[in-house]
Amino acid sequence: MLHSQKYVLPLVLLFLGVLFLGFLNISLGSVNIPFKDVFASIFNLEVSKETWRYIIVEYRLPKAITAIITGSGLAISGLLMQTLFRNPLAGPYVLGLSSGASLGVAIVIMGASIFGGVFAGVLLSKWSLVIASSLGSLLVLMAVILASIKLRDTMAILIIGLMFASLTAAVVSVLSYFSPAAQLQQYIFWSFGSLGDLSWNEVGILTIFWLVGLALAMSCIKNLDTLLLGEQYAKSLGVSIKRNRFVIIIATSLLAGSITAFAGPIAFVGLAVPHLIRQVIPVNNHQILVPAVILGGAALMLICDIAAQLPGQEYTLPINAITSLIGAPVVIWLLVRKRKFLF
């Protein structure tokens, strides 16, 4: 109990940090809005200009919530994969979910020119891309689940996921080669990732998937510590390897798949945040790690989004590039300083 209590302060500080970064994220943008009007817009009080309220409520607030969901969801997915495979280089997309989503979107975008006219317009709508991304992830998920039932070796599932990723990437490359420049450019823009294109309805749907994924992750939190010590040790303690593996794969798929469907493929966060948190909170107790990683992922994504939107400028940089540009040097520095993975 005393061992766990000393980590309460870092968790509280992380939570307060997420609140501060969330408010800062909402306050900054291409339009300069005073802090008092930002606060008034959030709590439905009187504001100086109604257009400011519209910008805050309809654009910046959904974007900040999406950043929190995306960062925390990818971070906890990365932690689950690293624990399941006992591999510090595993991430939320190691099962090939991102590649499956990319293939679905590539088929819709690059195949739309074949149909032409009104049908092509329907295919290229926002919801069509979301559905295509979800179906692509779902197909890969079903294949991975089938493999997890058939195979006893967890490492074999990792290899199968990587093979699916290579296979779908090859198909996307072939489609790209034969696609017109306009469709290819649209696909590239989707692959950059975006947090700012979601309506409140879409944020609501994403939140449902996020909550279900987190609930599944929490349901196996007690067994994650034993999985780190090896499958044989976990079996000796009465842990059902197949059941926990299945729950972890489903949780990761729901989180990573839904986030990719709505926000695009966002790299680095799921891989790096568990390592960053372990440097700050050097513990392998998942009852502490899981909430810390959730908060850390949300904080990192909010920081990256603040940097990406270039406060005061009209331009917004690709979030996928910013996550790696900001995060990778930090992780390299921390790991070199510590000289090891705390795993």
Given this model, what pLDDT does residue 215 score? Answer: 95
pLDDT at 124: 55
Tens place of pLDDT per residue across the chain (343 aa): 445 677 888 899 999 999 999 999 999 888 888 889 998 888 888 888 889 999 999 999 999 999 999 999 999 999 998 888 888 878 888 778 888 888 888 888 887 665 554 445 555 566 788 888 888 888 888 887 787 777 777 777 788 888 888 888 898 888 888 888 888 888 888 889 889 888 899 999 999 999 999 999 999 888 888 887 777 777 877 777 788 888 998 899 889 989 998 998 898 898 889 988 988 888 888 889 999 999 999 999 999 999 888 766 677 888 988 988 877 787 777 667 765 544 5
How many residues appear in the chain?
A: 343
Confidence (pLDDT) at 222: 83
Residues 6+ apart with CB under 8 A from 224: 80, 83, 286, 290
Domains of the chain: 2-338 (1.10.3470.10)
Closest by CA to 254, choosing from 296, 211, 223, 313, is: 211
What's residue 1's pLDDT? 46
> How much is the pLDDT for 68?
97
Q: CB count, 10 Å around CB of 197?
A: 14
Nearest to 76 by CA among 320, 322, 312, 301: 301
Q: Are 297 and 217 in contact (CB under 8 A)?
A: no
Cβ partners under 8 Å of residue 220, min gap 6: 244, 247, 248, 251
* Signed CA dihedral, 142, 145, 151, 153: sign only: positive
Give yes or no for a contact between 327 and 267, defined as CB atoms under 8 angstroms apart: no
Write the CB contacts of 128 (distance below 8 Å, at least 6 apart in sequence).
Answer: 108, 122
Q: Is the dihedral of CA 270, 271, 272, 275 positive or negative?
A: positive
The pTM (predicted TM-score) of the whole model is 0.88
Predicted pLDDT of residue 112: 65
To which residue do tokens 């739309």 refer?
A: 112
